[in-house]
Chain A
């Protein structure tokens, strides 16, 4: 049962949850640099730790999606237009 492929709708929900959690981790991490209150900062720290764990578990399940594919080391193609940047 543990190795069975996921259903289409479950996989798409996982896609949504994983992207949501990823944004949560990023936001809670970066907000730690902006926050004034130390208690709030500690809460954010705790949220990052818990979310990282949750994200790992979700990613593990997501591997059973029917459209699963080998994940490359980096993004396949550079997508941001850097032509306007001048190198000195």
Chain B
């Protein structure tokens, strides 16, 4: 990868990089969700709240497992072969740093003017 975001060479391996990144993000969110719900469960006393949180905790754990299995099957995640995992970690970090250094948004992204506004806001001009 080089620093030119218009260079087609950079589009090689992009589907893999994108999907591994999104999957890793989803995995971390699932994990964080499980932890948050578990903490909330240890703070709650009402039976209905606990039942709700307990169900959601189980759901969260199941979702986490599903994501983990998918990532292992797709070889995006190697919990048992750590040197394979090491390579993926360093590659994703390098590629993402490269993207971070690209000048992707050279012009301002303030596009508020593109959105409709209610007529009332301009009533003073009438």
A and B touch in the complex (CB under 8 A): yes
Contact status B13-A36, CB under 8 Å? no
A7 close to B (CB within 8 Å):
no
Contact of B112 among A26, A36, A69, A74 (CB under 8 A): A36
B15 close to A (CB within 8 Å):
yes
Residues of chain A within 8 A (CB-CB) of B84 are 69, 76
Residues of chain A within 8 A (CB-CB) of B75 are 77, 79
Contact status A15-B85, CB under 8 Å? yes
Instruction: Decide: A74 near B13, CB < 8 A? Known: A15-B89, A19-B24.
Output: yes
A43 close to B (CB within 8 Å):
no
Question: In the assembly, what is the distance between CA of A76 and CA of B90, in Å?
Answer: 13
CB distance from B10 to the nearest CB of A (A): 11
Considering the complex, give the chain A residue whose CB is closest to the CB of B19. Answer: A80
User: Which residues of A come within 8 Å of B, CB atoms?
Assistant: 11, 15, 18-23, 25-27, 29, 32-38, 41, 48, 51-52, 55-56, 58-59, 62, 65, 67-72, 74-80, 82
User: Which residues of B come within 8 Å of A, CB atoms?
Assistant: 12-13, 15-17, 19-21, 24-25, 28, 74-76, 82-94, 96-97, 99-101, 104-105, 108-112
CB distance from B36 to the nearest CB of A (A): 16
Considering the complex, give the chain A residue whose CB is closest to the CB of B1. Answer: A74
Question: In the assembly, what is the distance between CA of A43 and CA of B25, in Å?
Answer: 21
Contact status A18-B89, CB under 8 Å? yes
Residues of chain B within 8 A (CB-CB) of A78 are 13, 16
A-B CB proximity, top 9 nearest: A67-B82, A69-B83, A80-B15, A71-B90, A67-B83, A25-B100, A22-B96, A48-B100, A22-B93
Contact status B92-A22, CB under 8 Å? yes
What are 7 A-B pairs with beta-carbon distances under 8 A? A15-B85, A21-B93, A25-B100, A26-B96, A67-B82, A75-B91, A78-B16
